[in-house]
Structure 1
Amino acid sequence: MMACTTILVGKKASYDGSTMVARNEDSSSGQYNAKKLIAVASEGHPNVYHSVLAHLDIDLPENPLSYSLTPDAVAGQGVWGACGINSANVAMTATETITSNARVLAADPLVIYQESKGDKGSADYQEEMAGGISEEDMVSLVLPYIHSAREGVERLASLLEEYGTSEMNGIAFQDVNEIWWLETIGGHHWIAKRVPDDSYVVMPNQFGIDAFDLEDAFGSQKEHMCSKDLREFIEENHLNLSMNDQFDPRLAFGSRTDADQVYNTPRAWVMGRFFNPNTYKWEGAEADYTPQSFDIPWSFVPEHKITVQEIKEVLSNHYQGTPYDPYAARGDSKMRGAYRTIGINRNNFIGLTQIRPYMPESHRSLQWMAFGSNVFNAMIPLYTQVSQFPAYLSQTNAEVTTDSLYWSARMIAALADAHYYQTQAIIESYQAKMDHQALAIIKNFDQQLISADDKQKNEIRERANQEIVDQMIKETQSTLKQVLHIASNGMKNAYARSDN
């Protein structure tokens, strides 16, 4: 399982009418999973998918699409494809690990892989039992085979019902018109809700959906879908805890623990506070919501339209401007680091998928990427309909090297963190330069692509990506050099006198 933070932005809530989905993939505490960005061609797909962790084989449909993928860079535990966009301009991010409760898990247990026990042929022999699908598998099983966000929900739902899952997860599907969010319930059940066009959604490792229209889900399915037997499942297992007629899935299927109040709810609080500072009161005795509130809404209508840069900023948040900032130099030191930050040391990457309605289908989609701890990294946009991505992103492996953006970002973060205030201006300059330089390159190549013929377009998209990455290499190397100089001057064995 991965600890993550997700934000979903409907098309009427975004600055340019795009749908936008962004997620930090974070490793477990004390772990750091190297990631890469690759292009997967439509040709050469296997007929059967093998799940490494579940010991499960699943037949795959014919005619897969090409797609971008952000898998683990070091082989061993499966694909962990994380996020990508296919050639039909449909995106998927998987997964946001979420919570559940004992009532749900007793009624529909997770499908956990079981090794065989005993000697074959003996009376006490137990056969190996395959596990259910999980975060390792979902993008590879779904993204190459869907042509809309709704189709993504339907395909993943059918797999969950047939094979089950070994963990609780939230998954986003996105096309140019809409975003759907699916949450698993126990081993085989699920619900999905369409993100309102004028809203954004905050998801911090906690069961999120807080309102659900069962009549719509069992009727026209305009904005809600769910397992075919969800009504019976809720009733038979006494899961509905609402005191009125409004069904609250978060109460029924989620959790309300002390751990949530230091790990999850503070992240929802700070994201809502970021985009809606005036809509609600966020601090003080009369606050509408505090970092420990269990009723922070799943979705908000923002006070202004949301930009890509603001999404990056909020997914880098470490409670700056509050008493909880681990880097705070003033205020009550007792509360510093009290809550789990969004921008954390173990961010593997941020992937932001943007599908632009005003661009032709040939270059409608951008996948924005940053690697390592978000507090210290910079994010770049890339065209996804390509045969390959630049080596700086796609050739990452276990070797620590400045030839990889992932490892370069990790080095910058580890050095800058220990010298936060001395390096803050350098990091901010790095991030700002890449923001406007990369956007200028995209703007230029968007125009080239409009007038290009189909045979030229792949080469132009790849050339644009390489130009952006070349600029990223230059700025990343410069930033690393500057941060390394400051860190070297701050070493404990420094001595002012020299022989010069």
Structure 2
Amino acid sequence: MACTTILVGKLASYDGSTIVARNEDSPGGQFEPKRMAVVKPEDQPRTYTSVESRLTIELPDDPLRYSSVPDALPGHGIWAAAGFNTANVGMSATETITSNERVLGADPLVVYQPAQGKEGEEGYVPAVPGGIGEEDMVTLVLPYIRSAREGVERLGALLEQYGTYEMNGIAFSDADEIWWLETIGGHHWIAKRVPDDAYVTMPNQLGIDYFDLADAEGEQVEHMASGDLRTWMEDNHLNLTMMRPQVLDNMLDDMYAGVDEGFYDDDEADQVYLSEFEELIADVREGMLAGDIFNPREAFGSHSDSDHVYNTPRAWYMQRCLNPHDGWDGPHAAFGPEADDIPWSRVPERKITIEDVKYVLSAHYQGTPYDPYGRRGTDASRGAYRPIGINRNGQLAVLQIRPSVAPEYACVQWMAFGCNVFNALVPLYANVEAMPEYLENTTARVTSESFYWANRLIAALADARFHENAANVERYQEKIGGMAHRLLRETDAAVAKLPADEVPAALAAANQRMADDLKRETEDLLGKVLYTTSLAMKNAFAMSDN
């Protein structure tokens, strides 16, 4: 499925939280209804069979309770998408990513092979199960892990044992760390720790652009990988990184030139900075020469024409929003919307809020010639690139682990359904036995009693008269956001006084209050956009005929 992800390290977020956020988008021409759910240990399967790949896996007998965002309609698997377990570990799975022919030839995807012929007859070939995929990963991993690193380890082991039939990126988070895992071919994988002071943007494209194999094979401070990755890469000539240590030496020369020109002083702080930078450059230079450091995006990913239309512009716009003074426009811009080397991670200009996350994951290239709702550019430019906030957004889950409160209520799963351009993000405490019916009750029936369908209705109506409806949508989003932060503040203060065993019930009550307020405001917005768009119907006539 097409998705967009942003990951925010704890020193880059506004309150020290780790934040993992991902839009789950349906494929072209499809709209997959989503709902919220809490899976209790007694409801977790002990024998799991994938619908897509017909693979059966025996699961441990000690699962944790966890929240999830499964598909609402039965028949094609769970697709649990995102959630927290009771160990305060978050998981978001998956971001569909890209690969290339060399990788797929060296380690083919493990695709389900139907039976050939009839059983008992000559020439019969039984069916062969496929590997694991997006449908399965949260269910197979999240109930059994107690840290983000354990998530990488468990999923990595499953990939090596069973393989996968698709390329995916998966995020794991706890209070201290965020890890991002990318599948490589059928059985290989890499994972990288998100820097604490940085954010990561992922737009359906293999993203990691710097990897240290020596660390992955040793202490695993910031890198992990399948055990045979080095030899597999060597055997199949996959490392495309050019050994250019002279470039690093030139960077050092530029730094020292800055000292001579007065950009750096001779004070102790500058000397420490220069010394640390010199050590870093030396380590990278040594790693490049030893073959330890390489660029996975070049080795395993893609730079196709479709990437330049569908993927890279989304990373360009997200980073344009979070580092706005880096010069993104004009002929001398460091990165354009079709650039192949937009960084995987970078330090933001200021700390990132929940509202920033929602904004970039709702974006449609506002302020550029590429905005489909905009008045800049031309008809061609306004349809040039795939928006982030798209009609096929199914759900947005923002997984926030807050360090300033007790673990019993630290995890908040912010949720939005439908097209992000027109919806609002609502916080739900994760440590509960069930979610409010308004977010759980999605069925095939279209009804405003369901948060998912209410948002779908609002988006279809508001899109038709975007500019006339924009003010009401913005006021709704701001009002829900203010109510959300107030509810969290008041609930945090209230549950801090309770015994631990009474906290989940209090959190559930707070979630229900939020859902009640959300339903009222969402229905009010639905009425307003229905009225506004109805006035613009083509069969309207100005003369009163009552």
Q: TM-score, normalised by structure 2?
A: 0.90
Partner residue, 2:189: 190
The aligned amino acid for 2:404 is Y
Select the residue among 301, 313, 316 that pairs with 1:254: 301
Select the residue among 369, 390, 410 that pairs with 1:344: 390
Q: Identical aligned pairs, as a percentage?
A: 58
Distance in 2 between the 1:229 and 1:159 partners? Answer: 15
Deviation at 1:334, TM superposition (A): 2.6
Distance in 1 between the 2:61 and 2:153 partners? Answer: 17
Distance in 2 between the 1:256 and 1:166 partners? Answer: 21
Distance in 1 between the 2:119 and 2:509 partners? Answer: 58
Distance in 1 between the 2:350 and 2:201 partners? Answer: 16
Deviation at 1:151, TM superposition (A): 0.2
C-alpha deviations, 1:388-445, integer Å up to 9, x for none?
1111101111110011000000000000001000000000000000000111111111
Distance in 2 between the 1:331 and 1:265 partners? Answer: 20
Partner residue, 1:270: 317
Contact 2:370 2:377 in 1 (8 A): no
Pairing of 1:321-360 with structure 2 (within 5 A)? 321-360=367-406
Distance in 1 between the 2:461 and 2:112 partners? Answer: 40
Partner residue, 1:285: 331
C-alpha deviations, 1:125-148, integer Å up to 9, x for none?
211000100000000000000000
The unaligned stretches of length 5 or more in structure 2 are 244-287
Distance in 2 between the 1:64 and 1:150 partners? Answer: 17
Pairing of 1:379-458 with structure 2 (within 5 A)? 379-458=425-504
Deviation at 1:43, TM superposition (A): 2.6
Shift of the 411–44 alpha-carbon distance from structure 1 to 2, 3 Å rule, reads closer
Distance in 2 between the 1:228 and 1:331 partners? Answer: 50
C-alpha deviations, 1:158-198, integer Å up to 9, x for none?
10001000000000000000000000000000000000000
Partner residue, 2:75: 76
Partner residue, 1:7: 6
Deviation at 1:306, TM superposition (A): 0.2
When Rg is computed on C-alpha atoms for both structures, the one with the higher figure is: 2
Which secondary structure does the structure 2 equivalent of 1:451 belong to?
coil
Partner residue, 1:371: 417
Deviation at 1:122, TM superposition (A): 3.8
Which secondary structure does the structure 2 equivalent of 1:87 belong to?
coil
Deviation at 1:466, TM superposition (A): 0.5
Distance in 2 between the 1:197 and 1:339 partners? Answer: 31
Deviation at 1:76, TM superposition (A): 0.9
Partner residue, 2:117: 118
Distance in 2 between the 1:233 and 1:281 partners? Answer: 40
Distance in 2 between the 1:397 and 1:121 partners? Answer: 42
The aligned amino acid for 1:273 is R
The aligned amino acid for 1:276 is N
Which secondary structure does the structure 1 equivalent of 2:156 belong to?
helix
Which secondary structure does the structure 1 equivalent of 2:21 belong to?
strand
Distance in 2 between the 1:104 and 1:450 partners? Answer: 52
Distance in 1 between the 2:542 and 2:341 partners? Answer: 55
Deviation at 1:123, TM superposition (A): 4.0
Tell me if 1:137 matches 2:129: no
Distance in 2 between the 1:329 and 1:426 partners? Answer: 20
C-alpha deviations, 1:77-119, integer Å up to 9, x for none?
1000000000010000000000000000001000000110012
Distance in 2 between the 1:290 and 1:219 partners? Answer: 37
The aligned amino acid for 1:275 is L
Partner residue, 1:318: 364
Partner residue, 2:151: 152
Tell me if 1:474 matches 2:517: no
Which secondary structure does the structure 2 equivalent of 1:115 belong to?
coil
The aligned amino acid for 1:252 is A
Partner residue, 1:203: 202
Distance in 1 between the 2:516 and 2:484 partners? Answer: 10
Distance in 2 between the 1:53 and 1:148 partners? Answer: 28
Which secondary structure does the structure 1 equivalent of 2:22 belong to?
strand
Tell me if 1:87 matches 2:86: yes
Which secondary structure does the structure 1 equivalent of 2:473 belong to?
helix
C-alpha deviations, 1:470-500, integer Å up to 9, x for none?
1100110000000000111110000111234
Which secondary structure does the structure 1 equivalent of 2:83 belong to?
strand
Which secondary structure does the structure 2 equivalent of 1:75 belong to?
coil
Distance in 2 between the 1:248 and 1:4 partners? Answer: 23
Distance in 2 between the 1:446 and 1:490 partners? Answer: 45
Deviation at 1:287, TM superposition (A): 1.0
Tell me if 1:224 matches 2:223: yes
Q: TM-score, normalised by structure 1?
A: 0.99
Which secondary structure does the structure 1 equivalent of 2:42 belong to?
coil
Which secondary structure does the structure 1 equivalent of 2:324 belong to?
coil
Partner residue, 2:253: none
Deviation at 1:458, TM superposition (A): 1.7
Which secondary structure does the structure 2 equivalent of 1:326 belong to?
coil
Partner residue, 2:19: 20
Tell me if 1:465 matches 2:511: yes
Distance in 1 between the 2:99 and 2:505 partners? Answer: 47
Shift of the 434–269 alpha-carbon distance from structure 1 to 2, 3 Å rule, reads same
Distance in 1 between the 2:9 and 2:388 partners? Answer: 21
Distance in 2 between the 1:353 and 1:325 partners? Answer: 28
Distance in 1 between the 2:304 and 2:67 partners? Answer: 37
Partner residue, 1:362: 408
The unaligned stretches of length 5 or more in structure 1 are none
Deviation at 1:121, TM superposition (A): 3.7
The aligned amino acid for 2:338 is Q
Tell me if 1:499 matches 2:498: no
Contact 2:20 2:171 in 1 (8 A): yes
Which secondary structure does the structure 2 equivalent of 1:284 belong to?
coil
Query: Greater share of helix residues, 1 or 2?
Result: 2
Contact 2:23 2:393 in 1 (8 A): yes
Partner residue, 1:47: 46
Which secondary structure does the structure 2 equivalent of 1:84 belong to?
strand
Distance in 1 between the 2:45 and 2:330 partners? Answer: 57
Deviation at 1:330, TM superposition (A): 3.5
The aligned amino acid for 2:481 is D
Distance in 1 between the 2:30 and 2:67 partners? Answer: 25
Which secondary structure does the structure 1 equivalent of 2:211 belong to?
coil
Contact 2:33 2:442 in 1 (8 A): yes
Deviation at 1:332, TM superposition (A): 2.8
Distance in 1 between the 2:528 and 2:327 partners? Answer: 41
Distance in 2 between the 1:352 and 1:33 partners? Answer: 19
The aligned amino acid for 2:396 is I
